Structure 1
């Protein structure tokens, strides 16, 4: 069965996403959605040799909530920084963050989190995955930022993936 459905959740998600994007449940769209849901994971399975072992669903839920809150707060902070730039220019800086997270899936999730949170940009990852170079739009205290980043994002991802 796993030969035809190497990623059953992905197959179901692709099927429903196809129907949602087309806003139709016509027989043709049902057939195309089913074909997409079955064939895409089979054809792309060789591209993903390493399977993720996700643990602790409650930590995932807390992390998603925390990222949502941080996105809203960061949007407000970036807007305030841009609107009132004349009174105090932003203190942009590159920050080297030592990483304990080594799992490829966890690092991918961390890169997505830093991408969606305004004011931070993932700039570079060391070849040995030990240090992340992050650009921060307005940095007040580097040590406090590193501690917050590691505690808020890296630690939960380690619990989930390692």
Structure 2
């Protein structure tokens, strides 16, 4: 039996430590200052915002394999750059004849954060859009701008994105 999230749980002051640090750092970068007033504001934002939003964003995810997460970040960024070039070639070449396709990608992970990140990565990569996360069938439905082999694309998504996410989130 999975534990249920208590809606009255405020998560404490450090409910989302990574979000707290991120908010504080972004505040300091936006202010371009480490003056005492800005440091205090960064700490207050880093503590108060996650506490206020805890019930909306749920419990914090605890990534396990930080090295894998770092490598995965570079893989995703590289794929986004390559996809931008590919989509630009398709769009700018009047002779191109893209083959759009619906690609069902069966999911091996059940971790909600991993599934959310997978859908986000697919959508952020030009030329693909995650349209439906189908919990009943355990799959995500992806629309591809140009796809010769939907089975190969599904296998590539699983290998390049889902497998590292499963390692990171378990």
Same fold per superposition (TM over 0.5): yes
Which residue does 2:98 correspond to in 1? 90
> Of residues 39, 56, 61 in structure 2, which corresponds to 1:30?
39
Say whether 1:5 aligns with 2:5.
Answer: no
Which residue does 2:7 correspond to in 1? none
State the Cα distance separating 1:27 from its structure 2 match.
3.9
State the Cα distance separating 1:121 from its structure 2 match.
0.6
Say whether 1:126 aligns with 2:134.
Answer: yes
Q: Distance in 1 between matches of 2:159 and 2:108?
A: 11
Pairs within 5 Å for 1:56-71 = 56-71=65-80
Over aligned residues, Cα RMSD in angstroms? 1.9
Question: Taking structure 2 as the reference length, what is the TM-score of the superposition?
Answer: 0.84
> Structure 1 pair 129/18, CA: closer, same or farther in 2 (3 Å)?
farther
State the Cα distance separating 1:149 from its structure 2 match.
0.9
Which residue does 1:109 correspond to in 2? 117
Please, which runs of 5 or more residues in structure 2 have no aligned partner?
1-10
Single out whichever of 126-135 and 101-110 deviates more from structure 2.
126-135
Q: Distance in 2 between matches of 1:150 and 1:115?
A: 15
Deviations 1:66-123 (A, max 9, x none): 1121111111111111111x22321111111111121100011112211221111111
Which residue does 1:151 correspond to in 2? 159
Q: Distance in 1 between matches of 2:161 and 2:151?
A: 15
Please, which runs of 5 or more residues in structure 1 have no aligned partner?
none
Aligned residue pairs total: 160
> Structure 1 pair 14/129, CA: closer, same or farther in 2 (3 Å)?
farther
Question: Taking structure 1 as the reference length, what is the TM-score of the superposition?
Answer: 0.88
State the Cα distance separating 1:12 from its structure 2 match.
2.3
